[in-house]
């Protein structure tokens, strides 16, 4: 798995948005035996619940994006100003 970092906005059913700054985001697609599963949203939401656990829930895309931009600026002003993947949206058509 890669270790690229980024700020990721998760959109789930019910128009809920969560924002996290993390690395190795592709782990949300890991299925059995550590293999990437590109199509199973049940696997994706199970893993996403671990990654975005405890994040603030936003009810609008705009509010989530504002939080992501705030996080981005915070990282860029830190001692290690690196955000390889930038800000990205991930949509999983399941309830969180």
Note whether 4 and 83 are within 8 A (CB): no
Q: Which of 1-5, 14-18, 91-95 has the lowest mean pLDDT?
A: 1-5
pTM, two decimal places? 0.93
In the chain, what are the domain boundaries? 5-92
Collapsing DSSP states into helix, strand and coil, what is residue 23? strand
Residue 28 has pLDDT above 70, yes or no: yes
**Could you report the per-residue pLDDT of 32-91, keeping only the tens digit for each?**
888 999 999 999 999 999 999 999 999 999 999 999 999 999 999 999 999 999 999 999
Question: Which residue, chain included where needed, has tokens 């990205």?
Answer: 88
Residue 1 has pLDDT above 50, yes or no: no
Residue 2 has pLDDT above 70, yes or no: no
DSSP 31-81: -GGG-B-SS-HHHHHHHHHHHSTTPPPBSSHHHHHHHHHHHHHHHHTSSS-
> How far, in Å, CA of 7 to CA of 38, rounded?
20
> How far, in Å, CA of 77 to CA of 92, rounded?
31
> How far, in Å, CA of 16 to CA of 61, rounded?
8
pLDDT for position 20? 98
Residue 3 has pLDDT above 90, yes or no: no
pLDDT for position 26? 92
């Amino acid at each position: 798995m890669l270790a690229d970092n980024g700020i990721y906005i998760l959109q789930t059913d019910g128009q809920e948005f969560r924002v996290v700054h993390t690395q190795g985001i592709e782990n949300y697609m890991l299925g059995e035996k550590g293999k990437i599963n590109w199509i199973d949203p049940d696997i994706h939401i199970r893993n996403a619940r671990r990654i975005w656990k405890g994040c603030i829930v936003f009810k609008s895309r705009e509010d989530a994006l504002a939080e992501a931009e705030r996080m981005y600026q915070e990282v860029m002003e830190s001692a290690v100003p690196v955000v390889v993947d930038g800000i990205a949206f991930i949509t999983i058509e399941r309830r969180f």
